[in-house]
Amino acid sequence: MWSMRKNKQEPKKMFFIYTKDFFNHLRSELHSERTIETYCQSLNAFRIYLYETYSKTVDQITTDFVTEEVIREFLSSVADSNSVGTRNVRLSGIKAYLKYAATRDMELVPLQISISAVKHKKTYPKRHNWLNKEDIELILAQPPQTKIGVRDRFIILFLFSTGARLAEMRSVQLKDIIINEKYPYIRITGKGNKPRIVPIPEDSFLKNYKYYCHLYHPKENPDDYLFYPTAKVGREMMSEDNVQRILKKYGDAARCSNPKLPSIHPHLLRHSYGAQLYRLGVSLPEIAKLLGHEDVSTTEIYAETDPEMAAEAISKMLGKQAVRKWDFLTEDEKLKILGLK
């Protein structure tokens, strides 16, 4: 009887069984949400690679399957299809997870030690495709102190401070800018006529807005477009070419002081807005909302998981009843329980 129990094969453990606890551990150690999200992205990239390469679903990716060789194969594929920098980020995420998981499962210690010896590859500095604060200030200093200069400067400031697409900025009307609230905001209509709210960033933006309206919207007609061509009598929408011309004009002028400045265009200012938020520690899902990205498929109500429910689900995974329930879950449901989605 003893020998039968001895020879009975132990159930294989899931490699990602500790991910939820890992992310909670990082939060308890006061790591930023940006760091946690980056680690989550790296582990998900590894999971997706194993599914696409070996047809392994999340619960088929077991601790005995994940070897140093498999991880090195993954890192090589990342470097081939992306960049050395992305490869290093993915390696950092796997290293951090294994370091934690090895404290929970001694069988993972050899793998953790071997992966900790894998070195990051050297990267070389390159010019980022966004503008920093000094670049923006330099461009904003170019328009002259004239009525036209005030308008042009506010166009630049609006694009950088809201992350609006060119078409979105052109369609903004006075009634879309709400300033008589505790938290002022702008209603922006994005692709597919989808509205979103962008908070007005700071007092200096409001001051510039009020001065601009004093000059260009003295009648305060709510249906007027915020920006309109001054060469025409009506308040029609400003053309794309006009906005592009304004940005190019002052970008070229600023380049006299900083020859390294790239060509200035609306999407560069939009991208700079997103980069600024990311550097300030704003999470990627929140940035996606502010920018009106459509690639966020999971809504907040499905993304939120009660911590106690998740912990209970994980703790019961080794039980027979829980295993049967686990088998009927979809892949998405499993990923949410593990904190990978």
Q: What is the pLDDT of residues 219-252, one digit of tens each?
A: 999 999 999 998 777 789 999 999 999 999 999 9
Tell me the Ramachandran region of residue 14: left when phi exceeds 0, alpha when psi lies from -120 to 50, beta otherwise.
Answer: beta
Q: Hey, what long-range contacts does 138-146 have (CB within 8 A, 24 or more apart)?
A: 138/254, 138/257, 138/258, 138/261, 139/250, 139/251, 139/254, 139/261, 139/264, 141/254, 142/250, 142/253, 142/254, 143/250
The pLDDT value given to residue 130? 78
Q: How many helices and strands (H and E) does the chain possess?
A: 17, 3
pLDDT class of 318 with cuts at 50, 70, 90: very low
Instruction: Tell me the C-alpha distance between 41 and 37, whole Å.
Output: 6
Instruction: Tell me the C-alpha distance between 73 and 49, whole Å.
Output: 10
Identify the bridge partners of residue 177 per DSSP, sorted by sequence position.
186
The pLDDT value given to residue 79? 84
Instruction: Tell me the C-alpha distance between 39 and 199, whole Å.
Output: 29
Res 289 pLDDT > 70: yes
Instruction: Tell me the C-alpha distance between 157 and 139, whole Å.
Output: 10
Indicate yes or no: pTM above 0.75. Answer: no
Q: 147 near 229, Cβ under 8 Å? A: no
Q: What sign does the dihedral 231-237-242-248 (CA atoms) show? A: positive
Start-to-end CA distance of the chain, whole Å, equals 44
pLDDT class of 324 with cuts at 50, 70, 90: low
Q: How far is CA 47 from CA 68, 125, 228, 329, in A?
A: 15, 29, 50, 17
Q: 285 near 291, Cβ under 8 Å? A: no
Res 339 pLDDT > 90: no
Rounded to the nearest 10 degrees, the angle between the axes of helix 266-279 and helix 147-162 is 50
Instruction: Tell me the C-alpha distance between 122 and 38, whole Å.
Output: 20
pLDDT class of 202 with cuts at 50, 70, 90: confident
Within 147-299, residue ranges assigned H as helices are 147-162, 166-171, 203-216, 240-255, 266-279, 284-291
Q: How far is CA 26 from CA 96, 265, 284, 335, in A?
A: 10, 39, 17, 18
pLDDT tens for 244-267 read: 999 999 999 999 999 989 999 998
Q: Which residue has the higher pLDDT, 295 or 97?
A: 97
Identify the bridge partners of residue 195 per DSSP, sorted by sequence position.
189
Minimum mean pLDDT range among 70-74, 147-151, 236-240, 337-341: 337-341
pLDDT tens for 8-56 read: 556 678 999 999 999 999 999 888 888 899 899 999 999 999 999 999 9
Work out the average pLDDT over 308-328.
50
